[in-house]
């Protein structure tokens, strides 16, 4: 329909809803019940999962959000993967603007809604919640059932926010 561009070889289940504007990259898959609410751009080879919702987001190539996810006001890097039930929360409970905290620096977004920035090759475990303004740098893993906030460095494993370990070289 007007305002929706779909690449070649995209699989779209019959129960998918796509609201404009949206761009879906080549060789992607939109599974049953996916709800694309608009302002969504995906790269090639992405999986937008069953019963998942997307709005105001960018998914780079080969992102997989296969089932029961909420991805709002966020950016996901190449090969990022979210397990079942992962929520990228985009509104603070006090409804104040989102601030991104990187070490000692605070970046004012001047936005009431801002989810997460997840960099390349990040794995987020099932039923984890990323608080608004969370930034996860490349090659990191988040354990299932983890509440994550702030900056997560590259090449770490987050067991919980008090137990973050560096990945060992292999």
Q: Read off the pLDDT of residues 28-44 as tens digits, 9 standing for 90 and up.
A: 999 999 999 999 999 99
The share of the chain scoring above pLDDT 70, in percent, equals: 99
- Can you list the pairs that 9-14 forms with residues at least 24 positions away whose Cβ atoms lie under 8 Å? 13/50
Question: Looking at the predicted structure, is the pLDDT value of residue 169 above 80?
Answer: no
**How many Cβ atoms are within 10 Å of 27's Cβ, its own excluded?**
16
**How many Cβ atoms are within 10 Å of 12's Cβ, its own excluded?**
16
- Which pLDDT belongs to residue 102? 86
Pairing of strands 47-50, 64-67: parallel
- Which pLDDT belongs to residue 170? 58
Decide: residue 122, CB within 10 A, 0-12 exposed, 13-18 middle, 19+ buried.
buried
pLDDT (average), residues 123-127: 98
Do residues 142 and 99 touch, judged by C-beta distance below 8 A?
Answer: no
DSSP-derived secondary structure letter, 91:
B
- Which pLDDT belongs to residue 1? 87
Q: What is the tens place of the pLDDT at every residue in 86-109?
A: 999 999 999 999 999 888 899 999
Q: What is the tens place of the pLDDT at every residue in 137-154?
A: 999 999 999 999 999 999
Identify any residues that bridge with 130 across adjacent strands, giving them in sequence order. Answer: 88, 148
pLDDT (average), residues 24-29: 98
Question: Looking at the predicted structure, is the pLDDT value of residue 4 above 90?
Answer: yes
pLDDT (average), residues 72-83: 98
């Amino acid at each position: 329909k007007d305002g929706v561009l779909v690449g070649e070889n995209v699989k779209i289940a019959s129960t998918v809803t796509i609201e404009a504007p949206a761009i879906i990259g080549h060789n992607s898959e939109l599974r049953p019940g996916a709800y694309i609410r608009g302002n969504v751009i995906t790269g090639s080879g992405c999986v937008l999962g069953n019963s998942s919702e997307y709005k105001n987001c960018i998914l780079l190539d080969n992102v997989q959000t296969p089932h029961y996810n909420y991805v709002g006001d966020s950016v996901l890097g190449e090969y990022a993967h979210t397990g079942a039930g992962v929520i990228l929360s985009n509104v603070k409970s006090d409804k104040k603007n989102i601030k991104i905290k990187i070490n000692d620096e605070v970046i004012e977004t001047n936005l009431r809604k801002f989810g997460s920035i997840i960099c390349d090759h990040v794995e987020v475990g099932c039923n984890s919640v990323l608080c608004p303004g969370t930034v996860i740098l490349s090659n990191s893993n988040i354990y299932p059932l983890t509440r994550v906030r702030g900056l997560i460095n590259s090449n770490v494993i987050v067991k919980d926010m008090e137990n973050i370990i560096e990945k060992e070289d292999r």
